[in-house]
Structure 1
């Protein structure tokens, strides 16, 4: 539905976007994820019509989007600040875009009522934004965006102004609404959990380039670059070189680590033996065992942090500057200072090229 091909945007000496190419399908919930300043909002503004790229093309259903002014594009943009009119009621805020199009009054009324019911704000139609909670204001902004029935809805950090509890509720609400109204959503966020919980697919940005596009599970379990492995969720990273099969198993490989010798992982793709590489293993894939257990790396517990349903245990290994993070269900059964071992299965660790 939306094709972005080789889009580049420079601001003086700074390259905000460097030959970015993406394809977004009809009805998809697509996330642009990355740290501040990586170019994701610039790309959103180009699609919306507020920025013009220095090179590349953007098409929607095969039509050149860049040739159309912002007000002629079948796109709605929901701003991070919501940008509601404080002197208007909820119903008037939602109706504003339709009234500007000079649609019949009865049609405007009907569409506003329908969308307010969809977002659960029918009872608040006569209130003003100042009389609403943060979550309710977010719903008004969303209602105002979808009432015009755009082909594409762009959301710029839509949940950043909400507290953690409301944000979690609104993530579910956004996903429900997207399925209900059938509009393609493209959301910009720096929050990994938000992107993972909302999106059908995620594009990870870094320094103006797309590092990986994948579904949330694949992105989390099989990162293809050190940046993605480090940025998306917590990861334990071990540098080294590519070795041969682990214990004679052709389905696995080893990383000859700089400090700990051979470490098991999944076979690297198109990496020659001896090439510099990085092994990444998630905290929940690391097993905490007795110090003398076979195949384990020996260390001592540095800290135990309890987060309700899960505990994070930091294990200090001689020769490693950063502790290994282990995630276990419930309360941790070890104390700081305890001597332990850590190990993992080869299938749960990913070996990738060290340099991108």
Structure 2
């Protein structure tokens, strides 16, 4: 069931077009991610949902009601800031209770709800501490508890894990996913971190230059990108520009490359993931090359191959330490089903 409907939303700042006819439907109970590089418009869209910006055109409806007609403080929407914005002079419990106190709820209800949410995020034992006495991950949990204690229909998260180190970030990704399922609130997260979006979200909207390039589940985005931008932005990829003809897909300098030609004749780009490419003897694959570099990443090796006629190194990923050295002559091959053609 659709909870949030965004239809034809556009926003300009002078000559800069921040959003261009953005249309999205976000489902009830979904963990949804807005993913893209800096300046793609994702934060502007988040601010429109929160009530801090207004679109030049378009409509936003929450449960069928016009969200844009409601003042920011009246919307059943809460925003968790990137900086957490905790009150340093208040305890954890007081920080979490602050929004409920502003609503003048009965003290007994405030105490019960704060106690419940602190138990949910695992901070009951730290209720009397102040933010300076907490780790980054614990502060993030306090900010999340303060956001969900008001029981919003929609929770917006702006780069929620960017201030954490890599190990804590990985732990909090699992924690956020667990909490979202437990509390049943629809989460919309803004991030430029592909790994964060792929690990957290049920669906992802990839944005570029104010436009939505593709909306899909993480696996579909990775395996079947529909535009060149998505193919290049989501994970590592090998891109081969060429032309679809009646006889297949031709790449200048390389000749025909194996793929399913499911696009009409004309220019296109072939995308092949590094883990889908196999190394073999020269003369027996789609292309031949020379190993330029081998890097080991603890379980996976990345092999960069120079291919004559191609201006970028071809990246190959293999499990475990690579049994090959720079300077080796190799052939590259892949299954046609593992290569994806996208419009140029």
**Corresponding residue for residue 167 of structure 2:** 165
Give how far 1:295 is off: 2.9
**Corresponding residue for residue 14 of structure 1:** 16
Q: How does 1:193-212 map to 2 (within 5 A)?
A: 193-212=195-214
Other structure's SS at 1:91 match: helix
Q: How does 1:1-356 map to 2 (within 5 A)?
A: 1-244=3-246, 254-268=248-262, 271-273=263-265, 275-292=266-283, 294-354=284-344
Other structure's SS at 2:145 match: helix
- In 1, are the aligned partners of 2:115 and 2:124 still within 8 Å (CA)? yes
Give how far 1:266 is off: 2.8
Other structure's SS at 1:20 match: strand
Other structure's SS at 2:112 match: helix
Give how far 1:320 is off: 1.3
- Listed one character per residue, the Cα deviations across residues 157-196 of structure 1 (whole Å, up to 9, x for unaligned) are 0000000000000000000000000000000000001101
Give how far 1:321 is off: 1.6
- In 2, are the aligned partners of 1:243 and 1:255 still within 8 Å (CA)? yes
What number of residue pairs does the alignment pair up?
Answer: 342
Distance in 1 (alpha carbons) for counterparts of 2:238 and 2:123: 45
**Corresponding residue for residue 250 of structure 1:** none
Other structure's SS at 2:40 match: coil
Give how far 1:264 is off: 1.2
Give how far 1:341 is off: 1.1
Q: State the Cα RMSD in Å.
A: 0.9
Give how far 1:288 is off: 1.1
Structure 1 unaligned regions, length at least 5:
246-253
- In 2, are the aligned partners of 1:297 and 1:341 still within 8 Å (CA)? yes
Distance in 1 (alpha carbons) for counterparts of 2:42 and 2:12: 13
Q: TM-score, normalised by structure 1?
A: 0.95
Give how far 1:272 is off: 2.1
- Listed one character per residue, the Cα deviations across residues 128-166 of structure 1 (whole Å, up to 9, x for unaligned) are 001101000000000000000000000000000000000
Give runs of ≥4 in structure 1 deviating > 3 Å.
none
- In 2, are the aligned partners of 1:145 and 1:153 still within 8 Å (CA)? yes
Q: TM-score, normalised by structure 2?
A: 0.98
- In 2, are the aligned partners of 1:255 and 1:351 still within 8 Å (CA)? no
- In 1, are the aligned partners of 2:244 and 2:261 still within 8 Å (CA)? no
Distance in 2 (alpha carbons) for counterparts of 1:83 and 1:244: 59
Distance in 2 (alpha carbons) for counterparts of 1:229 and 1:244: 24
- Listed one character per residue, the Cα deviations across residues 196-216 of structure 1 (whole Å, up to 9, x for unaligned) are 110000000000000000011
Distance in 2 (alpha carbons) for counterparts of 1:260 and 1:207: 32
Give how far 1:297 is off: 1.1
- Listed one character per residue, the Cα deviations across residues 31-87 of structure 1 (whole Å, up to 9, x for unaligned) are 000000000000000000000110000000000000000110000100000000011
- In 2, are the aligned partners of 1:266 and 1:348 still within 8 Å (CA)? no
Other structure's SS at 2:28 match: coil
Structure 2 unaligned regions, length at least 5:
none
